[in-house]
């Protein structure tokens, strides 16, 4: 894309391609954070409701049916917490790449790989194919811009 140039103050100029990638990542991280906050709220409310319903008559069979149909609550909470944390960490990496720091690429790549592994563990490889492809594409596109970072 555009070559690294210096401005009158001697600071490196961010390539347009890297700027676009970072903005897309900022948008995605914003939506993800809003989504995780919503999911945490809903999960908390659902946990409160189901714990309140467990003592009701005639609901014994319902508990077993819900447990058989869904992953364990602890696995779901682990997935949510790891997903939220990796989103925050990858956002830190994108902010560093925005400031043209190579360290940001390593942070972003590490958190993205951890997020993908957790998604595969939780949902299986079949459900994670789109996430793998998109994440790999962003890692490759960011890698193409590492030469502009210090």
Residues 126-139 pLDDT 10s? 878 888 999 999 99
Q: What is the pLDDT of residue 85?
A: 95
Q: How many CB atoms lie within 10 A of CB 32?
A: 18
Q: Scanning the structure block, which residue is given the tokens 């590490």?
A: 110
Written as six digits, the tokens of 116 are 């993908």
Give the mean pLDDT of 86-93: 97
Span 5-39, pLDDT tens digits: 454 555 679 999 999 999 999 999 999 999 999 99
Coil, helix or strand at residue 112: helix
Domain ranges of the chain: 16-148
- 61 HSE (CA, 13 A, CB side): 1
Q: What is the pLDDT of residue 32?
A: 95
pTM for this entry: 0.77
Residue closest to 23 by CA, chosen among 94, 93, 105: 94
């Amino acid at each position: 894309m555009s070559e690294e140039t210096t401005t009158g103050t001697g600071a490196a100029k961010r390539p347009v391609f890297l700027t676009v990638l970072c903005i897309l990542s900022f948008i995605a991280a914003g939506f993800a954070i809003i989504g995780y906050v919503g999911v945490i709220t809903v999960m908390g409310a659902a946990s409160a409701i189901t714990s309140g319903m467990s003592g009701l008559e005639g609901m014994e069979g319902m508990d077993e049916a819900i447990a058989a149909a869904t992953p364990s609550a602890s696995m779901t909470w682990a997935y949510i917490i790891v997903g939220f944390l990796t989103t925050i960490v990858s956002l830190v990496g994108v902010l560093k790449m925005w400031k043209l720091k190579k360290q940001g690429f390593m942070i972003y790549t590490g958190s993205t790989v951890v997020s993908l592994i957790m998604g595969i563990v939780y949902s299986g490889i079949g459900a994670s194919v789109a996430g793998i492809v998109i994440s790999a594409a962003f890692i490759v596109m960011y890698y193409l811009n590492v030469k502009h970072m210090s």
